[in-house]
Amino acid sequence: MRYYPVFLDLQGRPAAVIGGGGVAERKVLALLACGARVTVISPALTKKLSYLARAGAIRHRKRRWRPADLIEPFLTIATTNDRKVNAEIAHRAHAASRLVNIADDPARCNVIAPAVVTRGDLIIAVSTSGRSPALARRIRRELERSFGAEYGRFLKLLGQVREQVQERIPSIARRRRILQRLVASDLLTVLRQNKTGLAQKRIRQIVGLKGLTLKA
């Protein structure tokens, strides 16, 4: 199976997690980090999920799942420990052309979750097409060592520069040269040394715009 790699915008969209155990907890936290409106369907929840429900961060339907639960969500994730239940959820979701992920059962999914490295707005996703999650985790650990927190800080600064350059410099060629010079510079090394002030000074020198606004 060859998958089409894609990133989903879940901001404000409804998502359902069926199951209330440890796997469900990890899925819920990931969905909340993306801004999804999460509903958990399960007779019981972990302590953390119970806390999130009481705090109003998630909705909790304290019962077993029903076919109607698949109508509203943009994405459904099944994490129950009953393979027959998971298979039924997958079957009905596919029949209704809904996005569904079945934990640890890629053959029944039309969406699979990659191993992810996150550094601010930088997201690096690794997939083995469901063949070896262990290898995906190993690659993720290697990427975590290669891409430190400085990449998130650098990307934040690049985003600020890009917005202002696009507003103030009409020439597409000049904008491209400036942004390429920033990426090719030693700014990552400077940020890795936590010299944010020096990095901002270097950026202003490279960009050459008066009044350039940068926030760490």
pLDDT digit of tens for each residue in the chain (216 aa)?
A: 678 999 999 999 999 999 999 999 999 999 999 999 999 999 999 999 999 999 999 999 999 999 999 999 999 999 999 999 999 999 999 999 999 999 989 999 999 999 999 999 999 999 999 889 899 999 999 999 999 999 999 999 999 999 999 999 999 999 999 999 999 999 999 999 999 999 999 999 999 999 999 987
| Sheet strands (E) in 28-121 | 37-41, 59-61, 75-78, 99-102, 115-119
Residue with tokens 């705090």: 55
Amino acid identity for residue 97 in this structure = S
- The angle subtended at Cα 175 by Cα 170 and Cα 177, nearest 5°, is 145
Taking only Cα atoms into account, the Rg of the chain, rounded to an integer number of angstroms, comes to: 22
Nearest-CA neighbor of 205 among 171, 156, 161? 161
**Global confidence as pTM:** 0.86
How many residues can be counted in the chain? 216
Give the C-alpha separation, 109 to 37, whole Å: 21
Q: What's residue 20's pLDDT?
A: 97
Q: Strand 115-119 to strand 122-126: parallel, antiparallel, or no bridges (unpaired)? A: antiparallel
Two structure tokens written together for 48: 């953390």
**66-93 CB burial, b ≥16 within 10 A, e <16:** eeebbeebbbbbbbbeeeebbeebbebb
Helix ranges (DSSP H) in 96-132: none
Residue with tokens 């009953």: 82
Q: What's residue 8's pLDDT?
A: 95
